[in-house]
Structure 1
Amino acid sequence: MWSVIIQKERGEFVNANGFNAWQGFDERGFEISFFDWEQMDSGVATVDPGTITVGSVRYVRRALQRIGIETMPLDYPIRLRGYLGRRIWQTTWAEVRSRIDSPGVPVFVKPVEQDKAFTGYVVSAFRDLIRTAKWPGEMKLWASEPFPFVSEWRYFVRRGEVIGVGHYKGDPLRSPDVSVIRGAVEDYAGEAPVAYGIDFGIAASGGTHLVEVNDGFSLGCLGLGPLAYSAFLEDRWRELVRTIT
């Protein structure tokens, strides 16, 4: 029987995601234990391929690293580039900082490899660099022209099927075109992980476009029920550790 580790800090669930996962795994009869970040990082928490780990992206990545697995953000899969509706390219902080004085050239940036290092945002003036000044010039970034969305939604995909949806930003009465969602899920099927989140939004100029794709190993539940959420997390963990089991 597989077991589960769920992150807690100071004896409390970190957020609703951990509580939701605990409910699902508990109802399904899994053996569950709790450890904080320091215990995970130091090795006090026993990690092995048969122990599903639930927590923040940093927490789960650390567990995977301890058993020899590295993960990379999914972000903008090649098969889905046609759904973006905007140009996206890779750059570095050094390049962005060198061009900051160019008038009228705002750019949206987010990390490539350290996907949770900071939340993506628009850089248009020197003051916008202050909050990310600590990051080195060689740090890789995704860049795109600013592309405002008036409504953003996440679709949970497990084993090729959409199993849930949650609205997380903007106007909740503006829904994406479901035919676009179905087309994207189908187009991505050949290379997609077993469980992932695919975010779509309604552009200010109209139309349904891809926001980004997120790996399922530590994705927030965003309204997905406990049983479905625990199965979603379990499937992705099993897929990731399959290479070493």
Structure 2
Amino acid sequence: AESTPEEFLSILQVLRDRGALVDTFTKKRIHRKQLPITADDTLLVVGDHDTMTKAFQMLGVPFEKETSVSGGGVDKLKRKKRILSRDILPSDCYPPPLQKYMGRSFYETTQTMLLEEVKMKGGLRMFVKPKNEVKKFTGRVITTLYDVQSLPSDTYLYVCDCVHFMSEFRFFVQSGCVIGIQCYKGDPCLQSKLNMVIIKKAIDDLESSPYKTAAYALDFGLVSHTYKSEDSVTTDYKDVDSLFDTLLVEWNDAYSLGSYGFSSQHYTDMLIARWQEVARHVQHISQQN
């Protein structure tokens, strides 16, 4: 989930209370490049995912070329498209250091390849979401050929085992430390059942990898201990002393995520920290050139 208008208003109030000079703008202005956005870490832009993508372009985040899907499988890709550098703006919702905490099998594919798989198997029940273009569509369960045909044909997909999360919690992380936890689905009283040892280990693994950022959110969910995945990637998530397993739902970058009632003060601090990190990256690249 992205930030909502109410969250934008709360950030606006926090910044004004701190004495910051704040102005609002329309999407039209940023799409027309009418805002003075530069690689200045004293500046901050706040908006939805599309707005922030435009802001990062204006900030000077470099583009890289990615081979995109073009009417075939992974081995038949033809077209190149420009995307914002993933060294600065990682977009994989299942970054490699965290994949062992998912507790379910998954694989990368394309719509064309998935269509062939469904035709061959006569149907399947799987959860599908975009791999990198995270706002391309909302993750969903697919069961029919029509479901697959409704997916975009020009992006990579993650296909995962379906898992019933009894409750889901967002962990807000800044500088490697958890600064808040919010339940966004299910029973918040189940928070005490989360295996914090597993969650801390996941954060430590991410923080010691090239995929870490200054601020981000990790979503974890509780699954009944009776859940079994036929092809689980790992058993690291197993908690033999609990009725539940603590599994990773996904990773989200801090610059555009829902707060679910999290402290507006800390939420604003996360946005500032992430913007400053991106601005410093751009400054460093400019100095090298």
- TM-score, scaled relative to structure 1: 0.87
SS at structure 2 position matched to 1:52: coil
Query: Higher Cα Rg: structure 1 or 2?
Result: 2
Q: Which residue of 1 aligns with 2:146?
A: 127
Segments of 5+ residues of structure 1 without an aligned counterpart are 1-12
Which residue of the other structure, out of 14, 17, 20, is the alignment partner of 1:27?
17
- Kept in 1: contact 2:219–2:249 (CA 8 A): yes
Q: SS of 1:38's equivalent? A: helix
Match for residue 267 of structure 2? 229
Equivalent in 57, 66, 87 of residue 58 of structure 2: 66
Cα distance, 1:130 vs structure 2: 5.5
Alignment map for 1:93-112 (pairs within 5 Å): 93-101=111-119, 102-103=121-122, 105-112=124-131
8 A Cα contact 1:20 1:221, kept in partner: no
State the distance in 2 between where 1:184 and 1:122 align. Answer: 26
Residue 77 of structure 1 aligns to which amino acid in structure 2? P
Q: Give 1:41 deviation, angstroms.
A: 0.7
Query: 1:75 touches 1:214 (CA, 8 Å); kept in 2?
Result: yes
CA shift for structure 1 position 14: 5.3
- Would the alpha carbon gap of residues 103 and 148 (structure 1) be closer, same or farther in structure 2, given more than 3 Å must change? farther
Task: Give the equivalent residue in structure 1 for 2:183.
Answer: 167
The offset of 1:43, in angstroms, is 0.9
Structure 2 counterpart of 1:189, which letter?
Answer: E
Deviation at 1:194, TM superposition (A): 0.8
Identity of aligned residues (%): 30
Gaps of at least 5 residues in structure 2 are 62-83, 228-243, 284-289
**Aligned in 2, Cα 1:14/1:78: closer, same or farther, shift over 3 Å?**
closer
- Say if 2:166 is the partner of 1:150: yes
Equivalence for 2:102? 84
Between the aligned partners of 2:204 and 2:281, the Cα distance in structure 1 is 25
Residues 87-118 of structure 1: CA deviation (Å, up to 9, x unaligned)? 12211111112222323522211112211011
Aligned to 1:48: 38
Aligned to 1:201: 221
Map Cα deviations across residues 66-104 of structure 1 (whole Å, 9 max, x no partner): 222123313112111221101122111111122223235
Q: 1:8 aligns to what?
A: none
C-alpha contact (below 8 Å) 2:49/2:256 kept by paired residues: yes
In structure 2, which of residues 137, 143, 146 is the aligned counterpart of residue 118 of structure 1?
137
* Correspondent of 2:280 among 235, 242, 245: 242
Alignment partner of 1:35: what SS? coil
Structure 1 position 17 matched with structure 2 position 36:
no
> One-letter code of the match for 1:208?
T
Give the aligned partner of residue 182 of structure 1: 200
CA distance in 1, matches of 2:203, 2:222: 17
Relative to structure 1, the CA distance from residue 91 to residue 182 in structure 2 (aligned partners, 3 Å threshold; closer, same or farther) is same
**Secondary structure in 2 matching 1:16:** helix
**Displacement, 1:55?**
0.8
TM-score by length of 2: 0.75
User: Structure 2 counterpart of 1:141, which letter?
Assistant: L
More strand as a share of residues: 1
Aligned length: 230
CA 1:14/1:151 → structure 2, altered by over 3 Å: closer, same or farther?
closer
